[in-house]
Structure 1
Amino acid sequence: MKRVYKLEGLDCADCAAKLEKKLAAIDGITSANINFMTLKCTLEAEAEKMNEIIEKAMEIIKVEEPDVEVKRA
């Protein structure tokens, strides 16, 4: 299952790369990609674990980049 989010306020390419690496490390994620040019975060994971994974991802984003607002794309 794939979900796409808009990361409003993400203003550093290095920060995007670090965030992408942390999201990819979440158990159950098969693919995590952050496109800094479009500010889109694409997460792919097993459908049955998706809600739990999204919660973890949002927590990581809030801790690492507290000024970033996450919206469903």
Structure 2
Amino acid sequence: MRKSFKLENLGCANCAAKMEHDISQLPGVNKATISFMTSKLMLDADAATPAELEPIVEAADAICTSYEKDCHILR
């Protein structure tokens, strides 16, 4: 499943690159791409339904918050 998410309060391109790398390493994630210019996360995961995708999004949100305290994935 491919899905796009808006990132709220993304303030650093270097942090975005680190977030992208760490999110890509999550189990079930095929590819993660973060565009700093548009503040968007493109997520390609093995999940077949939104319910299966939610734990991945929650883990990705925790990664974002670990690099930038106020950065969150809008759902």
In which range does the TM-score fall when normalised by the shorter chain?
Answer: 0.7 to 0.9
Name the residue aligned to 1:3: 3
In the alignment of these two chains, the number of paired residues is 72
Flag as ranges the 4+ runs of structure 1 deviating above 2 A: none
Name the residue aligned to 1:64: 67
Aligned CA-pair RMSD: 1.4
Q: Which amino acid aligns with 1:6?
A: K
For residues 55 and 69 of structure 1, the distance between their equivalents in structure 2, rounded to whole angstroms, comes to 10
For residues 60 and 33 of structure 2, the distance between their equivalents in structure 1, rounded to whole angstroms, comes to 12
SS at match of 1:61: helix
Instruction: Name stretches of at least 5 consecutive residues in structure 2 with no aligned partner.
Output: none
Q: Which amino acid aligns with 2:25?
A: A
Distance apart, 1:20 and its partner CA:
0.4
Change (3 A) 1:64 1:45: same
Normalised to the residue count of structure 2, the TM-score between the two structures is: 0.83
Change (3 A) 1:47 1:22: same
Instruction: Name stretches of at least 5 consecutive residues in structure 1 with no aligned partner.
Output: none
